[in-house]
Chains A and B, each alone.
Chain A
Amino acid sequence: NAGVTQTPKFRVLKTGQSMTLLCAQDMNHEYMYWYRQDPGMGLRLIHYSVGEGTTAKGEVPDGYNVSRLKKQNFLLGLESAAPSQTSVYFCASTRSGGSYEQYFGPGTRLTVT
């Protein structure tokens, strides 16, 4: 039982490049989330999904897109990376009908130059 995994762990992009971050969970959770963490800002929600095929915007969605084609996977895309997107990205999941406790992945550290 791996819990929540994220790929890759580290990445350096040049401005304008694109990439996709992959999140996978093996706990059969319905809800999944993408956050970004910046110093002194805590965690801010980018996008979330309440089920396969559904996504919704969070607090800071601009510049990102997401897809949830399979229940266990939640992808975060950057179409044209900007230096402001330099951050640590965390994926989390939780089950429906529960206490909202979220399980977090180990994070992806992204640097955009």
Chain B
Amino acid sequence: AQSVTQLGSHVSVSEGALVLLRCNYSSSVPPYLFWYVQYPNQGLQLLLKYTTGATLVKGINGFEAEFKKSETSFHLTKPSAHMSDAAEYFCAVSGDQAGTALIFGKGTTLSVSS
């Protein structure tokens, strides 16, 4: 069965510092992988996704993630944090059957200090 583990429920960085949010997954089939962002009192917005092809995926707002099959990881990075990046971030993996839901990690709250 598919599962997602996000390491660290809370990450704090200073403005301008590197952002690294960790995600490891398990999947019985080649996975589709996603990062979503949730700002306070809002729904989830897709940041980026990996389906096939290039393993380094670029998303919105300067975020990117690299699919590493050997490490079963899909970590999210941004070179320089901005105050507006403060939000909750969710990693997700596709289910193994068409139509089944994404499996989400428990989320990582990113705080950015000035």
Q: Is the CB of A42 within 8 A of B32?
A: no
Chain B residues, CB < 8 A from A74: none
Q: Is the CB of A40 within 8 A of B43?
A: no
Pick from B34, B45, B98, B106: contact of A42, CB below 8 A: B106
Q: Which residue on chain B has the smallest CB distance to residue A51? A: B99
- Give A103 Cβ to nearest chain B Cβ, in Å: 8
Q: Which residue on chain A has the smallest CB distance to residue B50? A: A99
Mask, A77-112, CB within 8 Å of B = 1, is 000000000000010100011011111111100000
- Give B99 Cβ to nearest chain A Cβ, in Å: 4
Whether B63 is near chain A, meaning CB under 8 Å from some CB there, is: no
Question: Which chain B residues have a beta carbon within 8 Å of chain A's beta carbons?
Answer: 9, 32, 34, 36, 42-46, 49, 51, 90, 94-95, 98-102, 104-107
In order of increasing CB-CB distance, the 10 nearest A-B pairs are A50-B99, A42-B106, A104-B43, A100-B94, A104-B44, A42-B104, A43-B104, A45-B101, A99-B51, A106-B43
